[in-house]
Chains A and B, each alone.
Chain A
Amino acid sequence: MALLDVRNLSVGVEDGEILHGVSLEINKGETHVLMGPNGAGKSTLGYALMGNPNYKVTGGDIFFNGLSIKNESADKRAKAGMFLSFQNPLEVPGISLSSFIRNSIVQQTGEKIKYSEFKKNLKEAMEVLSFDSAYKDRDLNVGFSGGEKKKAEILQLLMLNPKLAILDETDSGLDVDAVRTVSRGIEEYQKKRDGALLIITHSTRILESLHVDYTHVLVKGNIVETGDGSLVTEINDHGFERFIGGQENN
């Protein structure tokens, strides 16, 4: 049984339908990459999978661990083991990064964790990301640079340890060094924890150090091609032109 089984999923917002029958299967420990030109609906898929109420499922279904989660709220999906790293993480004043993470862990597991143990895990995860430990006491994402916000997302990924992580444009707006640091965190999740990944990106820089099992190309709300990791290289060399052309001929 696949960990995530997306069946013929259509998703719309107020202005109309964006995804038109997307199907996708992700097994435990697999890394999938979703690529596509701007406006293809990549982030929409991420939001719809995580349960953003502004993105309505108009057809098809989503199964996680064999259960339909189409009608579950985002917090239930998170508790089931899903995680979304946001393209633009929100700023929440008055809640420190560390107490937010601790709260999330308590909410997800329903159990208190020992403060000493939490502190140790947090310190280790921050070291993986070369993340200045002073940030743990700062208000969640408030005044963080783009790179720091993405580090904070990956820090949450490492601390929450989900079964499936959807990374939405985690590399956008980052300089070369920051991309490298962030991918180190993702690699840690992928290799040491055998986590499954759906990496949404329109560039390939973040994938350089990661093993990729499958690549999907999303164009105008449809997956038009699925291949292995080598598809990433092809897109890197030639762009999306071939797929966009193919779509127009349909």
Chain B
Amino acid sequence: MAEIKPDVKDIDRSLYDFRYEEKDFYKVKEGLTEDIVRQISKEKNDPEWMTEFRLKALETYNKQTVPEWGPDISGLNMDDIVTYVRPNTAMKGKWSEVPDDIKNTFERLGIPDAERKSLAGVGAQYDSELVYHNVKEEVLAQGVVYTDMESALRDHEDLVKTHFMKLVPPTDHKFAALHGAVWSGGSFVYVPAGVKVEIPLQSYFRLNAPGAGQFEHTLIILEEGADLHFIEGCSAPKYSVANLHAGCVELFVGKNARLRYSTIENWSKNMYNLNTKRAICEEGAKMEWVSGSFGSHVSYLYPTTILKGDDSHMEFTGITFAGKTQNLDTGAKVIQIGKNTSSSISSKSISKDGGISTYRSSVTVMPEAKNAKATVSCQSLMLDDISVSDTVPAMDIRTDDADIGHEAKIGRISDDAVFYLMSRGISEDEARAMIVSGFANPVSKELPLEYAVEMNNLINLEMTGG
């Protein structure tokens, strides 16, 4: 397990909260119009069908209303959001070719270092476009494709066309429609049948420009028996104006394949994170989500899994930390269709300094899903009297032989436990941080070591006021 290191306090916010000027960057005007969508499409050399797709999505966007059931997003005004900011560089395959200010950003976030040590491939997005993409030779030799969405649209157009926004159609909700209209960047992964990628791939999304939106699209296709661990990281410096993230993740997990999708999200606290992630599992497939939500002003995030094939399985392990000025509405959803499918959702949330954390989940077992199994467990920890924690678990079970378990717990840090740790020489702040890290430990245990350490750092940062 990850050790709790007392020296992590030394890391300060500047780790994430720094920025460079976006000089010479290409930008569209603020707001959302047909002209802007056409302009983005033209800039990106979209095939015609994609331009049409975008315009249709824009129509859908204009018809849809904003959700009225979650956190308030009235502070987000689409007329102020710049939907496309292209950095002043083409995508590179070597860090040495990436312009210095952008390279420095990723250096400070530790990405090239992680790539050398523990990753099979890395994609790095800066504002709207990927600036770096590289995969290890041996992974390429296995027939794995890992590239940016733009290259995929060019080189694997058929695969993209048959999968793009098929799981999350633009009609799904207003921000899916927005994504369909202005998407750019993101990663494409294709793992051929029987190929197991031994070490993880990682994409890192950095939003640098104030008042901008990031709309990356991640599309992962695993053929029969394939195996992959994909890691997604995101961060941004803090601005006084609203930034928007409306990404979309679509995961196709083939027969008997296994996909693990890990996320450490640390958007700055002016970010509206309205992200949609969805996976579909064929027969015997296994989907594993590990999700850490630490940043953003408002989040709506419910990774969804469709267990379509018989004997398919999903596991979700997530943690959300809502601090001052944060309203994070997170959870997971599963729809069980195949026979003998099983799902397990385990979620933890922490709220502090008036932060609001809402756990929202839904489990749907369809009539044909014989012998289904589902367990949901959510635990919340409130660190003071002004913070809020809520749980909204929904279950819709349409069979009579399902095995369903549900457990919810909301608690506070006990003064006795703090005193106990203090009586061993641990300071009060450190004691609270230890208790919170301990609470989060089942989640950090699921992460690769570097990310578990990063998560503990983030918790310590939040706990000690960094």
Contact = CB atoms under 8 A, between A and B. Distances in A.
Contact of A74 (B414, B423, B438, B442): B423
Contacts of A86: 420, 423
Contact size class for B?
Answer: 20 to 34
Nearest to B434: A95
B425 A96 contact: no
27 contacts: A51-B423, A73-B427, A74-B423, A75-B422, A75-B427, A75-B428, A78-B425, A79-B425, A90-B417, A92-B417, A92-B434, A93-B438, A93-B439, A94-B439, A94-B441, A94-B442, A95-B437, A99-B4, A103-B4, A103-B426, A103-B434, A104-B425, A104-B426, A107-B426, A107-B427, A108-B424, A108-B425
Contacts of B265: none
A98 B364 CA distance: 42
Nearest to A50: B423
Interface string B389-431: 0000000000000000000000000111101111111111011
Contacts of A84: 423
B300 to A, nearest CB: 28
B422 A74 contact: yes
Interface of A: 50-54, 73-75, 77-79, 83-84, 86, 89-90, 92-96, 99-100, 102-104, 106-108, 139, 156, 160
Nearest to B422: A74
A156 B424 contact: yes
Given A86-B420, A95-B438, 4 more contacts: A74-B423, A92-B434, A93-B441, A94-B439
The SS class assigned to the B binding surface is: helix
B3 interface: yes
B50 interface: no
B4 A53 contact: no
A137 B438 CA distance: 13
B6 interface: yes
A107 B425 contact: yes
Contacts of B431: 75
B4 A78 contact: no
Contacts of B428: 73, 75
A74 B419 contact: yes
Nearest to A104: B424
Nearest to B444: A94
Nearest to A99: B3
Contacts of A75: 422-428, 431
A53 to B, nearest CB: 7
Contacts of B442: 94
Given A52-B419, A53-B419, A95 B441 contact: yes
A95 B358 CA distance: 26
Contacts of B141: none
A102 B426 CA distance: 11
A90 B6 contact: no
Interface of B: 1, 3-4, 6, 414-417, 419-428, 430-431, 434-435, 437-442
A94 B425 contact: no
A105 B420 CA distance: 15
Q: 6 shortest A-B CB distances, which residue pairs?
A: A94-B438, A94-B441, A78-B425, A108-B425, A74-B422, A104-B424
A101 to B, nearest CB: 8
Contacts of B434: 92, 95, 100, 103
Contacts of B435: 92
A78 B441 contact: no
For A51, A78, A103, A104, the residue with the greatest tally of chain B CB atoms inside 10 Å of its CB is A103
Contacts of B421: 92
A54 B6 CA distance: 27
Contacts of B415: 53-54
A107 B416 contact: no
Contacts of A83: 423-424
B424 A160 contact: yes
Nearest to B435: A92
Contacts of A100: 424, 434
Contact of B420 (A90, A93, A160): A90
B417 A73 contact: no
Contacts of B3: 99, 102
B439 A106 contact: no
A90 B438 contact: no
Contacts of B439: 93-94
A92 B424 contact: no
A122 to B, nearest CB: 15
A103 B422 contact: no
A61 B402 CA distance: 64
Contacts of A50: 423
Nearest to B420: A90
A103 B438 CA distance: 13
Contacts of B430: 107
Given A75-B427, A75-B428, A99-B3, A94 B437 contact: yes
For B415, B424, B426, B438, the residue with the greatest tally of chain A CB atoms inside 10 Å of its CB is B424
For B419, B440, B441, the residue with the greatest tally of chain A CB atoms inside 10 Å of its CB is B419
A163 B178 CA distance: 66
A106 B424 CA distance: 10
B212 to A, nearest CB: 38
For A51, A75, A92, A139, the residue with the greatest tally of chain B CB atoms inside 10 Å of its CB is A75
A42 B450 CA distance: 47
A107 B426 CA distance: 6
A78 B6 CA distance: 17
Contact of B1 (A89, A96, A107, A108): A96
Contacts of A93: 438-439, 441
Contacts of B423: 50-51, 74-75, 77-78, 83-84, 86
